[in-house]
Amino acid sequence: MNKFTIKRLEEIGVSLFRINLSHTKLEDVADIIRFVQNLTRIPVCLDTEGAQIRTGNLEKKSIFLQDNAIVRVPVKALSGHAKEFNFYPNDIIKRLMLGDIISIDFNSVLVRVVEKASGYIILRVLSGGIVGQNKAVTVDRDIILPVLTVKDRKALSIGMKMGIRHIALSFASRPEDVDEVRKIVPKNTSIIAKIESVRGVENFLKIAEKSYALLIDRGDLSRQISVEQIPMIQKHIIRASKKIGVKIFVATNLLESMTKSLTPTRAEVNDVFSTLNDGADGLVLAAETAIGRYPINCAAMISRIIKEFNNSAVFSSVSSMQNSVKLLSKEPHGGILVNSINYDLGMEDIEKYMKLEVDRTVLMDAEQIAVGTFSPLRGFIDKKNLETVLNDYRLIDGTIWPLPIMLQTTRENVIRLRGRNRIALTLAGTSDVYALLDLEDIYTYDLDKMAKKIFGTDHEGHPGVGMLKGRGKYFLGGRVILIKRLPTSSKCFEITPREARLIFEHKGWSKIIGFHTRNVMHRVHEHIQKYALDKYHCDGLFVHPVVGPKKNGDYSADTILKTYDMMILNGYLKGKIFLGAFQSYSRYCGPREAIFTAICRKNFGCSHFIVGRDHTGIGNYYDHDSAEKLFNRLGDIGIEPIFFGNVSYCKKCEDYVNQCSHGEKHRIHISGSKGREILKSWVRPPEWFIRKEISNFILKQMKDGVKVFVKDEYGE
């Protein structure tokens, strides 16, 4: 900014000069204020850093982070590079949790916390890109930070002594934030509260009551709220602010193209006009006048558009921000992605509820209900919905739903729980509460009848029937609230539907294939995955192995995840595959479970789903085409199934085929169970069966005494 520019901006009609403390060194604040005050009578506004996380200093202006790269983030300050850099404030890493998904530089890069240690964290890059220094960092959960940084307080002290009486309060999230600033500034100071977070949107009216004005920062707001929702939120806040008589300003991307071009786009002009037409009292230019080539032209264009604005538009309401997620083009099943999580309940709140011990699978179901995997279910099923699911494959509201998610218990527990409205679910053998159940229904059901409906048999040799009959004939129905997630060794790979949708959108994927498995990758899986990607022209493959309890002889969850991860790191389906752990377990109910697992992946954002020959079946209880028949019977469930029959290796073709002219005698059938049996005998399967690197890894794990194959885990 030079003298000429400042004088011209004053002539054009600029009413406030803003100094952004996020991009200003503390030692320069006084000089910049003095420079502007010596040139104009227009007031200066100090815009605080506020409750935000940013990248630290870098050796160069920017760095490039590759997919799957490992990055170290220490507390100790350093000049960052592609393998190690800081977050600011430096000690914020102490607040981060294992598994947190973090976007950097307005979604240029997506990373996940995969390790925490004293003094540093380790990140894995989920989606690579370019990162600059002092760029926005967003954690995919709410982290409450002090409203003012140490630097903010020092800068405000300097500004107040120099006569500054306008403060823009960044990331105002509650009215108390304004009170905090009021304590350290003169009474006649005008505080402009910036609404740029979900919490700020939720509390904007209460914040407005204590502020001179509100400022909608659409840039930072879009870090937490889908960009397509910003216009309706903007309209709603403007209208509500006008009703209570509080000034309302709008910032970010008003004339972004004019940072490099002399003229704006028609869309930008329309946006500015519509914003004024809605009732905005002021417009705030940022990059356009701070770093753009044509700051005077930008201000002049805004001045010209202001002369043309007309009446306000009308908007009815704003949707709940807590349920705001990036949804791709695929809606969740039933139209809503359930979110029933409350990590903030204190022990005094939990201890007043009667506890019920349940096994790990029940808590897994509770967790998946709460994070939205089983949407639209909000809890364990009641008797009315159970009847319609068993008989009609639907919930009572008509939504297709094939598999009852139930909480079974004993008569003794039912007697103990009668009269209780809410109970706490603890992991058997511990006192740890993981979820609360709002008890709405207690009922019994004929288990033989239920078994035949779910599994097609009541034979107790079927593992699903055995589990059903061994857990009691009483059932508890009601909504679930998740208090904390189960600890697992696969936590760094576990992912919620919201997180998956965020990642897929960031990658630019809209057509996504879901792949459900309980095996390590073998050659038929590779053939199926590559064929499906090519034939259906999909953007990516979501490999989502089941990592919950398994039956005797199955691969351990760690083995499955490590082998897939090893292949991805070695370039398998480069740029087209994403691996996530599905914290659930197999029910072994064949066609019903095929529909169920497809719906779950629909909730994760998948548009297609691979259904294998014996998908989630066991033994000879189900026909090979039973899943396909049920899909056809139920019709469109909102995700397209991709059916694969019996794929085998033809020695003549030297390829993997469904069928060919060489006849059965030249075909070798490949299955996960066959591969397990070969490896258990300490033999490496042929290369055409399982990749050598996978076989070698598994055999080495076995040799080193690592658990590769599990004993029956359902009793845990």
Domain segments of the chain as ranges:
3-52+145-306, 55-139, 333-482, 497-703
Superfamily of domain 333-482: Sulfate adenylyltransferase (3.10.400.10)
pLDDT score at 324? 42
147 vs 197: CA distance, rounded Å: 13
**Is 90 exceeded by the pLDDT of residue 169?**
yes
- Domain 497-703 belongs in CATH node 3.40.50.620: yes
Rounded Cα gap, residues 238 and 231, in angstroms: 11
Taking only the tens place, the pLDDT of each residue in 24-62 is: 999 999 999 999 999 999 999 999 998 889 999 999 999
Is 585 in contact with 715 (CB distance < 8 Å)?
A: no
Q: Average pLDDT for residues 405-426, to the nearest whole number?
A: 95
CA distance 581 to 95: 24
Contact 311, 242 (CB under 8 A): no
Closest Cα to residue 236, out of 162, 293, 314? 314
Q: Is the pLDDT of residue 472 over 60?
A: yes
Among the listed residues 98, 102, 116, 124, the one whose alpha carbon sits nearest the alpha carbon of residue 55: 102
The reported pTM is 0.78
Is it true that the peptide bond before 89 is cis, omega within 30 degrees of 0?
A: yes
Identity of the amino acid at 99: G
- Around Cβ 632, how many Cβ atoms within 10 Å? 11
What pLDDT, on the 0 to 100 scale, is given for residue 620? 79
pLDDT tens digits, 125-160 = 999 999 999 898 989 888 888 899 999 999 999 999
Question: Which residue, 624, 684, 612, 686, is CA-closest to 651?
Answer: 686
- pLDDT at residue 266 greater than cutoff 90: yes
pLDDT, position 318: 43
- Looking up tokens 């399982």 gives 690
Which of 172, 81, 173 shows the shortest CA–CA distance to 132? 81
What is the pLDDT, as a whole number, of residue 319? 41
Query: Per-residue confidence at 312, pLDDT binned at 50, 70, 90?
Result: very low
- 3-class secondary structure, 306: helix
Least confident of 316-320, 399-403, 521-525, 631-635: 316-320
State the Cα–Cα distance between residues 448 and 468, nearest whole angstrom: 9
Query: If DSSP states are collapsed to H, E and C, what string results for 144-177?
Result: CCCCCCHHHHHHHHHHHHCCCCEEEECCCCCHHH
What is the layout of strands, in order, in the sheet containing 213-217? Answer: 17-20, 44-47, 166-169, 190-195, 213-217, 247-251, 282-284
Sheet holding 667-669, edge to edge: 655-657, 648-650, 667-669
Indicate the pLDDT class of residue 713, thresholds 50, 70 and 90.
Answer: low
- The stretch 594-615 carries a mean pLDDT of 92
Rounded Cα distance, 573 and 578, in Å: 9
Single out the residue of 185, 134, 182 nearest to residue 158, CA to CA. Answer: 185
Higher pLDDT, 544 or 324: 544
Do 55-139 and 497-703 show the same overall fold? no
Average of per-residue pLDDT across 680-688: 91
Q: What is the pLDDT of residue 316?
A: 39
Residue 549: asked if its preceding bond is cis (omega within 30°), the reply is: no
Question: Residue 321 has what pLDDT?
Answer: 40
Compute the chain's Rg from CA coordinates. 29
- Mean pLDDT over each residue of the chain, to the nearest integer: 90
Report the CATH architecture of 3-52+145-306.
Alpha-Beta Barrel (3.20)
Q: Is the pLDDT of residue 663 over 60?
A: yes
Domain 55-139 has CATH 3.40.50.740: no
Give the distance, in angstroms, between the CA of residue 530 and the centroid of all CA atoms in the same chain: 26
Tell me what pLDDT residue 624 has: 82
